[in-house]
Every structure is written in C-alpha cells, then in structure tokens.
C-alpha cells in the first residue's frame, strides 16, 4: 500500500514524486514508455527556468535522477484501469496491480500526428509540434503551419513575427479558428493560405527540405520547399483507463480545478492530461507540485 501512486513520468509526474517524497510519503511512479515524457523529444529547451539551454532528454534525466535519489519507486508498466475503493485506490496494469491511498494522474497528452512515413525521423529535424518551444529556431526562415484551428492560427501569429514566410496549410475550404486571429494573419504580408490541401510526403535527407502537397479538389500535387513545418492538428490525451473515476470533457481531457482535484476524492490530475489553457513543461511541473501537496493532505486526512 503506497501513500501516493503517480501515473506518468513526465515533468508533471516526476515533480509530483519529488514533492511527495520530500513530504516523506511513499511514492510509486508508473510509466508505460520512457521516463521524462514528451519533452525528451525536444532537442533544445530554452524556456525552462534555471537553464539558458538544455536538451529535453537531459531535463528528463535530471528529473528522474532527482525523484530516484529522494526514494521514489518506479515501474515500467501500462495502466489499464483505476478503481476507487473508498479508503484506497487500485491501479491495474498489464503486468499486475498496485494499491495507493491517493492517485495522481499525469499521463500527459500527445500531439496528433500526420501519420506520414519518416515523420519520426524528421521530428526535431524540420518537423515540430510546438511553435512556442521551437519557433525561435526558424527565425528568418520559411515554414508551414499544418492545420486551421485556433492552435494553428495562434502558432502562425507567433511564427509570423519571426519567420520570413509562413504558409498555413488547411485541409478544409476555410480555417475554423477565431475571426480575430484570421484578421491578424490576413494583415501580415508574410502569411499565405493554402486551402483544401493536405501533406502527402515529407522530403529531405537528414533535415526536412520540402513537403509534397495535394489539393483535395483537383488531386493535383506539387513540391513545396520549406525549412520546417509546425503540425497543429490537435492534442490527444491517453485518459481512457481513467474514465471510470474521472469526469472527462468532450475531447477526453480530465476535468479538474486549479487545485488538480478531480471528480473522485483522492484522485488528482496534473499536466497536459487535464483541461487547461496552457500546456508547457513548466506548467506541467507546477501542476505536479500542486497535485502532490493536495495528495499529501488527502493522505493525512485519511489517517484521521
């Protein structure tokens, strides 16, 4: 029986483990893939406090090392279900189950991908999913934003302030984002729109140099040279195993307040898996600290 079980070993989950262990609670961290979370795929992080520049993998390693040094236990396993038993919770995994008084879900979310060959190969080498994280690397260069919703348009606004040219590639006949964002973009001379267009191929040797575009109305294809693309076609949370104990919104994100409390007492949500406006490594870490302190209070109250 652990005091706190943490699901997910990204910045949110590992920060929660650090805070919980410093409060002298027994902690188990469960991770299904690799410790450090999505940030480990970022070749360079320049917006995390305390580091002018650090690779995502190095930042992830430091977080893991700190949690382990404080005595957190870790297991590589995939969580399939969480059950609320009242005074404790059961976390079922593919290879066993664990019991804890409180559970912090920090399972993160992943960017929806284009699903094209070589996409993994070019990630960090011309393919990005975060304009705020990687936009500065494309200063004075020509890029494309894939998508036409609010996130894509917000990314395009940011990128148009530093890139030589921004082309928005939208698979529909119009963008679906806010009119205000469209007005801003249409007023900028370095922004262009391609409608009814999809990306069919990613091209280049070690670095992305061009994309093959296809018009969905005419089926005509053309090679489009770019220095990089920013994919903004939505986020996808991995919250199906928690649907029985957490209220989810229509997109599958966990509904919680700023104190990270979910619809079930003793279960907390931290980081990108929950409903929130800003999803950055630093906000995930902040959530982890808040969730850990809330979980510690729950464990104390349960002992009374």
Domain boundary among 231, 246, 279: 231
Q: Which residue out of 3, 77, 93, 130 is catalytically annotated?
A: 130
Q: Is 133 a catalytic residue?
A: yes
If one counts every other C-beta atom within 10 angstroms of the C-beta of residue 211, the result is 27
pLDDT at 225: 98
Please tell me the distance from the alpha carbon of residue 158 to that of residue 274, in angstroms, as a whole number.
24
Domain boundary among 187, 209, 231: 231
pLDDT at 43: 65
Phi/psi for 275 (5° steps) reads -65, 125
**Shared domain check, 90 and 6:** yes
Angle among Cα 58, 61, 65 to the nearest 5 degrees reads 140
Please tell me the distance from the alpha carbon of residue 288 to that of residue 283, in angstroms, as a whole number.
9
Q: Which residue out of 77, 134, 227, 272 is catalytically annotated?
A: 134
The token pair at 262 is 């979910």
* Cβ(133)–Cβ(42) below 8 Å: yes
Q: What CATH number does the domain containing 154 carry?
A: 3.50.50.60
**Low pLDDT (below 70) residues in the chain:** 41-43
Q: Which residue out of 133, 163, 273, 296 is catalytically annotated?
A: 133
Angle among Cα 166, 170, 175 to the nearest 5 degrees reads 95
Range of the domain at 151: 119-231
Q: What is the pLDDT of residues 262-279, one digit of tens each?
A: 999 999 999 999 999 888
**Shared domain check, 239 and 221:** no
pLDDT at 70: 98
Q: Is 301 a catalytic residue?
A: no
- Dihedral angle sign, alpha carbons of residues 246, 294, 79, 116: positive
**Shared domain check, 210 and 74:** no
Domain boundary among 177, 205, 231: 231
**Shared domain check, 295 and 270:** yes
pTM, rounded to two decimals: 0.75
* Cβ(292)–Cβ(284) below 8 Å: no
* Structural domains in the chain (count): 2
Residue identified by tokens 């652990």 is: 2
Please tell me the distance from the alpha carbon of residue 274 to that of residue 295, in angstroms, as a whole number.
16
Q: What is the pLDDT of residues 143-162, one digit of tens each?
A: 999 999 888 998 999 999 99
């Amino acid at each position: 029986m652990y005091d706190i079980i943490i699901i997910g070993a990204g910045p949110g989950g590992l920060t929660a483990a650090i805070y919980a262990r410093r409060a002298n609670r027994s902690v188990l961290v469960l991770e299904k893939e690799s410790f450090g979370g999505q940030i480990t795929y970022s070749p360079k992080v320049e917006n995390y406090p305390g580091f002018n520049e650090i690779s995502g993998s190095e930042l992830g390693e430091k977080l893991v090392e700190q949690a382990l040094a404080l005595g957190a236990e870790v297991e590589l396993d995939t969580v399939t279900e969480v059950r609320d038993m009242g005074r404790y919770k059961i976390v079922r995994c593919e290879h066993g189950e664990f019991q804890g008084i409180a559970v912090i879900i920090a399972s993160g979310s992943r960017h929806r991908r284009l699903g094209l060959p070589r996409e993994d190969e070019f990630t960090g080498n011309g393919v990005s999913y975060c304009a705020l994280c990687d936009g500065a690397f494309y200063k004075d260069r020509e890029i494309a934003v894939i998508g036409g919703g609010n996130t894509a348009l917000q990314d395009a606004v940011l990128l148009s302030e530093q890139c030589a040219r921004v082309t928005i590639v939208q698979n529909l006949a119009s963008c679906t984002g806010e009119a205000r964002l469209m007005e801003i973009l249409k007023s900028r001379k370095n922004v262009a729109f391609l409608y009814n267009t999809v990306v069919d191929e990613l091209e280049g040797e070690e670095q992305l140099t061009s994309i093959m575009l296809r018009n969905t109305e005419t089926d005509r294809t053309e090679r489009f040279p770019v220095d990089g693309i920013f994919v903004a076609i939505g986020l996808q949370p991995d919250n199906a195993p928690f649907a029985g104990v957490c209220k989810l919104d229509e997109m599958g994100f966990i509904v919680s307040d700023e104190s990270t409390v979910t619809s079930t007492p003793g279960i907390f949500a931290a980081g990108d898996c929950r409903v929130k406006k800003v999803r950055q490594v630093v906000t995930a870490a902040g959530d982890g600290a808040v969730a850990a302190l809330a979980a510690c209070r729950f464990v104390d109250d349960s002992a009374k």
